[in-house]
């Protein structure tokens, strides 16, 4: 795990080395072990200037032979690479016929020579998480690519005369200097969801490379190619109800899953631990890891607010698996101390509050290991979110004749809370399920149904996939990539900790979407994953209602944080063009508003934007 940055330009920068070093300083936390830069100046052989920068977190081949930027033996190809290729030893065997003279044992060399000999087809061989750039001096061409699922970030900015890239947009802020116009669509998306999705960034001139995509830049002509995605037609085929035995399905999942964990443990020259929350997914990872490696360290975090704390479950599972377990309990004081560090870890507005727990957990974990496995990805593949059950209930209500629904819906208006009243009424009285689904999502996003959701609903027609698969696919391609993976990457890399995701191995993802019949997923919450977990753990250790990983935000917002928010909201901000400041100050001083779930989320989201603005935008 590292950080990469650089550019290719027709207009040489006079202080290129100094500039690329400044860009590297923005990603120094991603690679605290070594920093390398290389400049290729225009000459009779090369018409443009190329700069490559790399900050290294040493995981494989700890010697200097693993340092980057790296050049091949001919001196033609240069590479900077962020991530890990877990099956690099297997690919090294494929390359034997080319009689390559390696300098070391790093996966970076394997990646570079794979590209030299296989071209873009090399991407099909890689099992890993990656973002990399390779420059070909002979063709004066740059090739950049991002892994299939989008675990590793990759941003770029370009014009007719230059192309610049980085693991973090902060480096591109330096490259662009004062050309920093905020993208209003991205801002609207952030205010609606708390993150910025798809290929956008907060600034108009900076974009993300989409997951499963590569770019080939030649004379600043960009060829943008998607080399992997989830094929909706193949997902639809499995919906037709192909019969499989339950035991066979569980066995097939186990085979891929255990190998996914195994290769992530073995592809490392440093100790590897496991994040263990006590939930289904992380318990599976810890159980499989403990079978592969007896000396497993596990790490969990809990809260001094008992209703949010699940660390006791993680402790019990760790005891059963006989792992070397470390549990950390945090409270409001730890939360307040971490806010500024957390906001500084994100060079774009981002407000998933559970990331603060990941930040603190990463800091503690880094004291023991350099790499940790996590259980992210199971919810989106195996019907894990409670929202899906709510959607199912709404859908099932449409089997009841409308006349009956309307009468019962009005009767339900005597429910306990205003939100419940609205939901029960809408669930039972709306004539069209699609309208109800949109309205439900609208309510969950504080009354703002963004253009993004509307576009996605238009793009993915309801007739293409079942509603259940549509929900999971939507979350996998959006929420997981643009929220969950961003949160874990930035929070962990703030302390130079690499996090690996066995449940996001592309083989596991393809198997879950292409091979597992929908009816076996919707039997119940993570039904098949629980069946698998029962082969590792006694049922009583994990059988309980799903809580989800969240922090006591509502309570903490109404403590000392409220004063900080009120002071911050008095400052001038870009948001003053979009939000009534008087109303914002009024709401932030009203305990009844911030004590509601969505009130606290909204205030937190706006507060995090102010912090980002102060850390990055105003300084630029």
2 catalytic, yes or no? yes
Closest CA to 227 of 212, 208, 217, 216: 212
Q: Is 490 helix (H, G, I), strand (E, B) or coil?
A: helix
Report in angstroms the alpha-carbon separations of 129 from 87, 88, 355: 11, 12, 20
Q: Which residues of 4-17 are buried (b: 16+ CB within 10 A; e: fewer)?
A: bbbbbbeeebeebe
- Contact criterion met (CB below 8 Å) for 60 and 105: yes
Could you count the other beta carbons within 10 Å of the beta carbon of residue 516? 19
Task: Say if residue 69 is preceded by a cis peptide, omega within 30 of 0.
Answer: yes
> Measured between alpha carbons, how far is 360 from 358 in angstroms, rounded to an integer?
6
- Contact criterion met (CB below 8 Å) for 615 and 573: no
> Measured between alpha carbons, how far is 224 from 6 in angstroms, rounded to an integer?
19
Concatenated DSSP letters for 337-397? Answer: HHHHHHHHT-SS----THHHHHHHHHHHHTTT-SEEE--TTHHHHTT-SHHHHHHHHHHHH
- Contact criterion met (CB below 8 Å) for 572 and 551: no
Closest CA to 193 of 480, 403, 406, 424: 480
The token pair that represents 315 in the structure block: 């402790």
> Measured between alpha carbons, how far is 400 from 549 in angstroms, rounded to an integer?
35
The token pair that represents 67 in the structure block: 């340092």
- Contact criterion met (CB below 8 Å) for 596 and 446: no
How far out from the chain centre does Cα 571 lie?
31
Task: Give alpha helix (H) positions in 398-552.
Answer: 402-411, 418-429, 433-444, 451-459, 467-475, 485-493, 506-514, 518-521, 527-533
Q: Is 80 helix (H, G, I), strand (E, B) or coil?
A: strand
> Measured between alpha carbons, how far is 159 from 176 in angstroms, rounded to an integer?
11
* Helix, strand, coil percent values for the chain (each to nearest 5): 50, 15, 35
Of residues 2, 26, 48, 436, which has the active-site annotation? 2
Q: Is 548 helix (H, G, I), strand (E, B) or coil?
A: coil
Concatenated DSSP letters for 225-253? Answer: EE-----HHHHHHHTT-----HHHHHHHH
Phi and psi at residue 250, in whole multiples of 5°? -65, -40
* Strands 297-303 and 272-275, sheet pairing: parallel
The token pair that represents 12 in the structure block: 């040489």
> Measured between alpha carbons, how far is 290 from 288 in angstroms, rounded to an integer?
5
DSSP annotation of 315 reads: H
The catalytic residue positions are 2
């Amino acid at each position: 795990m590292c950080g990469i940055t650089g550019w290719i330009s027709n207009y040489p920068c006079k202080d290129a080395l100094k500039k690329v070093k400044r860009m590297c300083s923005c990603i120094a936390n991603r690679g605290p072990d070594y920093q390398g830069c290389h400049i290729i100046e225009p000459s009779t052989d090369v018409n443009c200037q190329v700069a490559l920068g790399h900050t290294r977190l040493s995981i494989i081949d700890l010697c200097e032979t693993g340092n980057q930027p790296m050049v091949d033996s001919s001196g033609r190809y240069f590479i900077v690479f962020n991530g890990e290729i877990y099956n690099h030893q297997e690919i090294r065997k494929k390359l034997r016929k080319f009689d390559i003279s390696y300098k070391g044992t790093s996966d970076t060399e394997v990646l570079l020579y794979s590209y030299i000999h296989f071209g873009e087809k090399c991407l099909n061989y890689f099992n890993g998480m990656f973002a990399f750039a390779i420059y070909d001096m002979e063709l004066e061409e740059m090739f950049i690519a991002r892994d299939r699922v989008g675990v590793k970030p990759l941003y770029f900015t370009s014009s007719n005369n230059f192309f610049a890239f980085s693991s973090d947009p902060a480096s591109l802020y330096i490259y662009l200097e004062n050309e920093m116009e905020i993208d209003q669509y991205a801002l609207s998306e952030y205010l609606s969801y708390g993150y910025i999705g798809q290929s956008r960034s907060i600034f108009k001139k900076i974009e993300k490379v989409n997951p499963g995509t590569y770019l080939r830049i030649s004379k600043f002509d960009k060829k943008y190619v998607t080399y992997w995605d989830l094929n909706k037609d193949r997902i639809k085929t499995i919906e037709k109800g192909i019969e499989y035995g339950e035991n066979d399905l569980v066995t097939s999942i186990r085979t891929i899953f255990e190998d996914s964990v195994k290769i992530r443990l073995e592809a490392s020259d440093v100790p590897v631990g496991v994040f263990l929350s006590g939930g289904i997914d992380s318990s599976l990872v810890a159980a499989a890891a403990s079978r592969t490696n007896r000396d497993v360290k596990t790490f969990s975090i809990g809260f001094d607010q008992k209703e949010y704390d699940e660390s006791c479950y993680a402790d019990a599972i760790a005891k059963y698996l006989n792992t070397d377990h470390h549990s950390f309990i945090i409270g409001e004081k730890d939360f307040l101390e971490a806010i500024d560090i957390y906001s500084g870890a994100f060079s774009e507005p981002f407000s998933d509050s559970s990331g603060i727990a990941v930040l603190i957990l990463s800091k503690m974990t880094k004291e023991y290991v350099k790499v940790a496995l996590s259980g992210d990805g199971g919810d989106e593949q195996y019907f894990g979110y409670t929202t899906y059950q709510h959607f199912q209930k709404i859908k099932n209500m449409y089997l009841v004749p409308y006349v009956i629904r309307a009468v019962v819906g009005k009767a339900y208006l005597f429910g306990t809370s205003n939100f419940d009243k609205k939901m029960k009424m809408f669930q039972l009285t709306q004539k069209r399920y699609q309208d109800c689904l949109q309205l439900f999502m609208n309510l969950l996003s504080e009354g703002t149904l963004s253009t993004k959701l509307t576009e996605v609903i238009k793009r993915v027609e309801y007739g293409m996939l079942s509603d259940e698969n549509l929900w999971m696919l939507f979350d996998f391609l959006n929420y997981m990539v643009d929220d969950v993976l961003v949160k874990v990457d930035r929070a962990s890399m703030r302390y130079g900790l690499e996090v690996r995701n066995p449940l996001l191995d592309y083989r596991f993802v393809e198997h879950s979407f292409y091979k597992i019949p929908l009816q076996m997923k919707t039997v119940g919450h993570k039904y098949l994953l629980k069946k698998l977990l029962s082969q590792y753990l006694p049922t009583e250790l994990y059988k309980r209602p799903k809580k989800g990983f969240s922090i006591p935000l509502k309570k903490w917002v109404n403590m000392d944080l409220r004063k900080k928010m009120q002071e911050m909201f008095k400052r001038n901000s870009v948001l003053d063009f979009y939000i009534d400041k008087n109303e914002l100050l009024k709401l932030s001083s009203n305990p009844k508003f911030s004590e509601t779930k969505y009130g606290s989320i909204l205030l937190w989201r706006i507060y995090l934007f102010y912090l980002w603005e102060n850390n990055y935008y105003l300084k630029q």
